[in-house]
Amino acid sequence: MAAALALAVLSAPAVAEDARRVTQIGGVEYVGFDAVCQRHALGGLEKLSGRTTSGHPQEVPVFSPVGFSGGAVALERDDYFRLAGPAGRLVFRVDSRQFFFNDARHWLSFPLRKAEEGGLVISRIDAEALLDVLLRGRGAVAGRKFEGVVIDAGHGGSNRGAVGRNGVAEKTATLATARELKRMLEAAGVSVAMTRASDRYVDLDARGHFANRYKNHLFVSIHYNMGRSTSHGVETYALTPQGAASTGADGKPSRRDQVRYPGNEFGAESLLLADMVQRELCEHHSPEGDRGVKWARFEVLRDTRMPAILVEAGFLSHPVDAALIATEGYRTKVAAAVARGVSKFMGMMGAEPGAPAGAQLAATPPVPGGTMIPNPQPHEIPSAESMTRTPTHATGKTLNR
C-alpha cells in the first residue's frame, strides 16, 4: 500500500468494561464497536470515499482510501470506512445498516451509530448473531454434518406468485429451477427431497413439517421477485435472529422481534449457508445485482428445524431480469450457483474447524414415504400480496422445462 495513505488503527478502550457497556438507543441495546474489533483482531481503519458512477439506487460505490487521521472518533455521519483482520475485510458506513464482508453485501438489523462520546456503537444482536458468525465461520457453529437437501419450489397450483409482463409466472420458474437443482445435487451424490415436483399448491406450514422429516438436511426455498422497475438482482434470506429486526423493517424494532422460532436453533448455520449461496449467485450478475444477505421471518424459515434459506433469484418486474428468468440458460445458472454454495457449506461442515473443507458429499437413504408431501391440498386462496402484485393480463406462461 502506498506510503502516502494515512492509516488509523482503532484505539483500544482504556477500560475493557467501558467497551462492553450496553447503551440503549431507540429501544435497542448497543455495545462498543471497539470491543467487536478487539475480539476479532480488526484494525487498520481507513476512511474511504464512496464514489458512485451510474446513479443506480443499488450501485456499490467504488471505494478508495482518503487521507485521514483520528480513528473512529473522527468519523462523521455517512462516512465509509474499512477494517481488516484474519477473516478478511469489512466496509461499514456510519448511520447505515448496509455493510460489505469480503466485498459481499450484508445488512445489519440496526444502523451502526456514533455514540455521544464520539466512539462507534453497534447493536448487540448484530455483534453476536451476525458479525461474530461471519468472522468466525466454521468455528461459530456446532459440529453437525449435513448430507441432504430439501428443495422448496415457491408457490404452485392456484398461487402463481409474481407474474412478469412477459407472462412468466413465478410458480413455473421456481419449479423449473428446483428440478434442475435436484438433478445437479443428485449427480453429486446428495440426497434430495422436494416439497412439490409438479404444479400444485402446498400450504406453507406443510412445507416446513415435511422438511422436518429429513434429518441432517438443509432447506432451500427458490423464489423469483417483484418490485420497482429499477429493482433487479439476487438476494438470499436467512431467518431473523431472536431480538433482531428483519431487513424489511428498516431498522425499527418491534415486539415480534422477541419471539423465538424453531428455525432459530440453526441461525448461525443458516447465515453461513446464505452467505455462501449469495456469493455464488452474484458471480453472474451486474455490479448492482448483489442485493445482499438479508433477514426475514418467512414461515418456511421459521418452522424448519435445520439450516434454511430462501433465494430470490431475480425480478420478474425488471425487463432484463424477466427476460433472463424466461430462459433455461439463466435458470440453469441459478441452480448451479445454489448447488455450488450448498456443496461448499456441506464441505465446510464436514471438516473440523480450521481444516480445509472437503468436497466429498455422502448420500442419505430417503425417508419412507417418498420425496413429496403426501395428500396435497387442491385449492388455495391467493394471498393479498400475490393478488396485488400480479398484472391482470398475465397468463402464467409455461416454461420450456
Q: Of 147, 180, 269, 312, which is the active-site residue?
A: 312
CB neighbours (10 Å) of residue 85? 15
Cell numbers given for 103:
466485498
Contact (Cβ atoms closer than 8 angstroms) between residue 312 and residue 225: yes
Nearest to 343 by CA among 273, 263, 265, 271: 273
Amino acid letter, 261: Y
Close Cβ partners of 220 (under 8 Å, ≥ 6 residues apart):
149, 150, 151, 152, 181, 277, 308, 309, 311, 338, 342
**What would you report as the CA-atom Rg of the chain, rounded to the nearest whole angstrom?**
22
**Number of neighbours of residue 227 by Cβ within 10 angstroms:** 16
Taking the alpha carbons of 223, 228, 229, 231 in that order, is the dihedral positive or negative? negative
312 is catalytic: yes
Beta strands in 2-79 (DSSP E): 23-25, 28-32, 43-51, 62-65
Q: 77: left (phi > 0), else alpha (psi -120 to 50), else beta?
A: beta
> What are the Cα distances from residue 153, in Å, to 69, 213, 380, 383?
51, 18, 16, 17
Phi, psi values for residue 151, rounded to 5°: -100, 130
The catalytic residues are 312
